[in-house]
Structure 1
Amino acid sequence: MTTTATPPPRTARATATPPEQRKRGQRGGPAYIFLTPWILGVVLLTLAPMAVSLYLSFTDYNLFDPPKWVGLRNYSDMFTADPRYWRSVGTTLLYVVVAVPLKLAIALGVALLLSNTRKAKGFYRSAFYAPSLLGASMAVALVWRALYNDGGTVDELLSSIGIHTGGWVSDPHLAVFVVALLSAWQFGAPMVIFLAGLQQIPADLYEAAALDGAGRWRRFVSVTLPMLSPVVFFNLVLETIQSFQVFTPAFAISGGNGGPADSTEFYTLYLYERGFTASHMGYASAMAWVLLLAIGAVTLVLFRTSRSWVFYANEGA
């Protein structure tokens, strides 16, 4: 007697059938409709202006006459025949090197103090974050200029203890530091990020370090900084990118001319002068693209070097 094997039951297909795929496509239609404003904004307000700017960087354009194609002349003049361009690069690099570490150090220090505060924690956090809400506005920059000007509040306070500077704004060696201090004063955003990172550090690590005899400084160096390194890296990248694009404080403090003696002639301020004051929009477009590539290169370097000092808790998992 022979028996026939019963065929195994058919399993459901892993992939969707054509009707199901059509249904999914129909369900995705409303999503694209709601995304239409965003897509139009990206194309019309970002991608299209970038394409036009790239084209203008190879032209001689004065905002009034049609653009005239000149090839790489704007770039060659920028690197070989414009000493003010290189001064603006040096001023911007000095500002980045001073302002970014100073701002992050103040933000981390205040975050450490607030993380140990038990009373009125919400009030103190709001108070220290308030300057960042004002942003780099023209009004704040003008007030800052008045504080550090000749005869201003800072000058009067320093003169009362025997330090006569004659005003930081009018001193070519100190003017750039006025802008850097203004940036450091607005430390609220990185402070909040540092606070969030501090709250994620396990208390067991501090207890183990304390049992081993580690003091406060040792716990900060061996526990806090390594565990907080991803947050430090995040703030470092954001603040570096923003610092390369500083404009409003430099414009207000220098009076719009990069003075005194081009000491506050930041890259973006010089770009503005060449584009809208001198009407060399092609040259200004070339400067904008060089700035974009420079920021991208610096960001890439930061990501490459982060492998040696950024610690992630789940790396060994």
Structure 2
Amino acid sequence: MTGYILRRVLQAIPVFLGTTFLIYFMVFAMPGDPILALFPGRSPDPAVVAQLRAQYHLDQPFIVQYFIYLGGILQGNFGLTFSGEAINDVLARTFPVTARLAGLALTFLAISGILVGLVSGLRKGKLFDATSLAVSLLLISLPIFVIAFVAQFVFGIQLGWARTTVGSGAPTADLILPAVVLASASFAQIMRLTRASVIETAGLDFVRTAYSKGLSRGRVIPVHILRNSLIPVVTYLGTDFGTLLVGATITEGIFNVPGVGNTLFQAIKRGEGPTVVSFVTVMVLLYLVVNLLVDLLYGLLDPRIRYVK
């Protein structure tokens, strides 16, 4: 196990270097001058422009800029925004909000998506199965902003069960509705993936053998069917957590959530390359860590999987 973890960490290093280099290149190779964009409709003092270029290392060759940025990351320093605020402080303020939002969404996915998919797979062709498939198809076909506006109108305005916008400090109660909206499309995918996996696993020989030995459904379903059906589901959930973090931009904007998505969108509009690159780099690191954890979970879910050389 230790050797496997070490190999996975070593494999993640070139992935991290390659992705951060591409991100940095794509952001700073965009046309336009981000420093001049700070002075819309004005002609700034050349001395001020030169000072800002030097402060953000924009007067250096591209490769030098990248290595300076990479060195800062290795020291835990993500640099400064164009307003002079430390990006570490921006991340510390916004990331916990988005992490709670994505965590709530992932919890909703893991519980409701797997449960509905399990029941649907076990009752293939029945009314519950047909209804859940129809609902999942509807959720997949609707854009996220449509679901968000409908949820605001129905649950926030008509029923009064939730706030239409997140209040100051982003209390957890205010994040429940945005989390459900954020998870809606992924819920459909998880439900369908679980259903298909359960149907396939339920027809395998070892499940029939378990029944022939006299084991009850209460024992066979959770231990033999569900457990062995979760490999593709856990893989999707692991990668989807990063997607939920990154893809919360629209949901955070509609519900006025003070998180990473909102901040990243504003940084893109202002052309703040350092902020955009740093935020995306954090997402890359999260993807790598989550994928490693998912790989380690395989051996716990399916005893047939072993980490061998």
* 2:110 alignment counterpart: 104
Give the Cα separation in 2 of the matches to 1:217 and 1:87: 46
**Correspondence for 1:129 among 130, 137, 160:** 137
What SS is found at the alignment partner of 1:226? helix
Quote the offset at 1:86 in angstroms.
1.0
What SS is found at the alignment partner of 1:75? coil
Give the Cα separation in 2 of the matches to 1:229 and 1:87: 35
Quote the offset at 1:63 in angstroms.
6.6
Asked if residue 143 in structure 1 is aligned to residue 150 in structure 2, the reply is: yes
- Contact kept, 8 Å, 2:139 with 2:184, in 1: the verdict is yes
Quote the offset at 1:62 in angstroms.
4.2
* 2:91 alignment counterpart: 85
Asked if residue 251 in structure 1 is aligned to residue 253 in structure 2, the reply is: yes
* 1:217 alignment counterpart: 218
* 1:181 alignment counterpart: 180
In structure 1, list runs of 5 or more residues that go unmatched. 1-45, 159-164, 255-263
What SS is found at the alignment partner of 1:200? helix
Which digits, 9 at most, give the CA deviation of each residue in 1:111-148, with x for residues without a partner? Answer: 22222143465565233321122142x22222222234
For structure 1, which segment, 64-73 or 233-242, has the greater mean C-alpha deviation from structure 2 after superposition? 64-73
* 2:238 alignment counterpart: 237
Quote the offset at 1:196 in angstroms.
1.8
Give the Cα separation in 1 of the matches to 2:79 and 2:95: 16
Quote the offset at 1:200 in angstroms.
1.6
Letter in 1 for 2:276: A
- Contact kept, 8 Å, 2:252 with 2:261, in 1: the verdict is no
Larger Rg: 1
RMSD (CA atoms): 3.6
* 1:282 alignment counterpart: 274
Quote the offset at 1:250 in angstroms.
1.2
Letter in 2 for 1:76: G
| TM-score, normalised by the number of residues in structure 1 | 0.64
Identical aligned residues as a percent: 13
In structure 2, list runs of 5 or more residues that go unmatched. 1-18, 39-48, 58-67
| TM-score, normalised by the number of residues in structure 2 | 0.66
* 1:64 alignment counterpart: 37
* 2:194 alignment counterpart: 194
Which digits, 9 at most, give the CA deviation of each residue in 1:212-259, with x for residues without a partner? Answer: 5544332232112321131222222232121121211111121xxxxx
Shift of the 169–215 alpha-carbon distance from structure 1 to 2, 3 Å rule, reads farther
Normalized per residue, the structure richer in helix is: 2
Count of aligned residue pairs for this structure pair? 246
* 2:292 alignment counterpart: 300
Letter in 1 for 2:117: A
